[in-house]
Amino acid sequence: MNYRGRILTLQIAVAISVLLFADYYLEQDYTVVALTCMSVIYAFTSWSLGKKYDQAKYNSENDALTEVYNRRYALQIFPKLKLSADRKSEKVMVFVLDIDNFKSINEKHDHEMGDLVLRQVANVLTDSFRNTDYVIRWGGDEFLVIMPRVDEKTITLLYSNLENRLSHISSYTSIEISVSLGYSVYPDEGNRLDDLIKISDRKMFSEKKNKPNRRNQEDAAQPVQEVQL
């Protein structure tokens, strides 16, 4: 949560106090003590109002459970990122990530564990991506990450970092946690956020379907150990 509202309202309070003191030196209608008290009251009231504004703005832009950005914020920020990318001839990448077997996690354990997994995955995404990227809970167990200024080296490091951090969650929760992901690139594959998400979704579901096959292939590749009877 930022301090923009509090800073703005406090600046207004300081401006009012300056005007009051200026008026005092010109007209001397108030005592210095009265002016000081009024200034303190203005400052306290302004800070409180600014805090309420900042809290309301934070709640409107962030998911209550995971504390990452919500769908509403994604719809607000994407047009601005497009304009910036167009001006600089850059690209924007849209990731869609889905937690594998999340329904079974809720069924085998409980919704508290499901909520814990969602929060942990959100933290992993926040830590794995750059400070300039936008991690969003799109709905349910699906997350969106919008990455301006795409760099291939960054993507490679991201995959490795993400897998390592997810393995730590698995150790912490004693549940195997993995995600499937797909991505699309603006403007190469689409212009609208909805279109880019659909493309990312298709790639993500394709990866999810291929995961059992990939695991079987990996198991088959393992050397068979002889068992001594």
pTM for the predicted model, two decimal places? 0.73
Whether 185 is in a domain gets the answer yes
54 and 116 co-located in one domain: no
Phi-psi label, residue 154: left if phi above 0, alpha if psi -120 to 50, beta otherwise: alpha
Q: How many structural domains is the chain composed of?
A: 2
The answer to the question of residue 109 being in a domain is yes
Whether residues 150 and 198 share a domain: the answer is: yes
Would you say residue 198 lies in a domain?
yes
Residue 90's alpha-carbon distances to 85, 145, 152, in angstroms, are: 5, 17, 13
Q: Based on the domain organization, do 108 and 203 belong to the same domain? A: yes
> From residue 68, how far is each of 78, 104, 136 by CA, in Å?
16, 24, 6
Q: How far apart are CA 214 and CA 76, in angstroms?
A: 38
10-residue mean pLDDT series, the chain (229 residues): 67 66 58 68 72 80 95 96 95 94 89 92 90 94 92 72 81 84 92 96 90 48 32
Three-class SS of residue 28?
coil
Co-location of 91 and 178 in the same domain: yes
- What pLDDT score does 225 carry? 33
Handedness of CA 20, 23, 25, 28 (dihedral sign): negative
Query: Domain range spanning residue 39?
Result: 4-61
Helix (H, G, I), strand (E, B) or coil at 141: coil
The predicted pLDDT at position 144 comes to 96
Place of tokens 């509090």: 6
Does the residue 181 lie in any domain? yes
In a domain, 221, yes or no: no
Among 137, 132, 147, residue whose Cα is nearest residue 94? 147
* 28 Ramachandran zone, left/alpha/beta (phi>0; psi -120 to 50): left
List the CATH number of the domain containing 193. 3.30.70.270
Greatest alpha-carbon pair distance for the chain in Å reads 105
pLDDT on residue 163: 78
Same domain, 142 and 166: yes
180/202 same-domain check: yes
Instruction: Say if 222 falls within a structural domain.
Output: no
Same domain, 170 and 81: yes
